[in-house]
Structure 1
């Protein structure tokens, strides 16, 4: 199953850091993403873009995981020449991950 089948995602940025939130539609699915969507898997999945550490924060009361991706925006919005300077497409790409 792909993540988009049980969750939606949001993204944000600050400098060269991208922030991705993964939120389940159904609270019963939180345990699945908690088990399957580890920082290591997210870093591997986004390895072409994320060069630094990936830290995960758990928000069980919201049915959400928040990932902070270091060195993910090619230097940051003001210095990047990337098409997606803010990394907004990273959340959509994360939803394509098979779990």
Structure 2
């Protein structure tokens, strides 16, 4: 199943750092999401060239987690030539991950 069947996401950015929050639709799904959505699996999903520095923060009281990708926006919003400089589509990319 795809991650988007159990959760929704939101992105943010600061400089060249992007973050993606994953929030369970149902509290009952939190344990599965916490177990299956690891830094290693997220890194493999995005590919080695995306970000080598990924940190996961869990917020069990909110049934959510936040992934911080340092260096993912290749220079930051005002310096990057990539199409999605803010990284707003990255949550959609992560939500397509198989779990």
Could you state the TM-score of these two structures normalised by the residue count of structure 2? 0.95
- Deviation, 1:52, is 2.6
- Deviation, 1:57, is 0.3
| Alignment RMSD | 1.1
Where structure 1 has 5 or more consecutive residues not aligned to the other structure, the ranges are none
Runs of 4+ in 1 over 4 A off after TM superposition: none
Q: Deviations over 1:23-59 (max 9, x none)?
A: 0000010111101100111111112662231100000
Where structure 2 has 5 or more consecutive residues not aligned to the other structure, the ranges are none
State the number of aligned residues.
Answer: 99
Could you state the TM-score of these two structures normalised by the residue count of structure 1? 0.95
1:56 aligns to what? 56
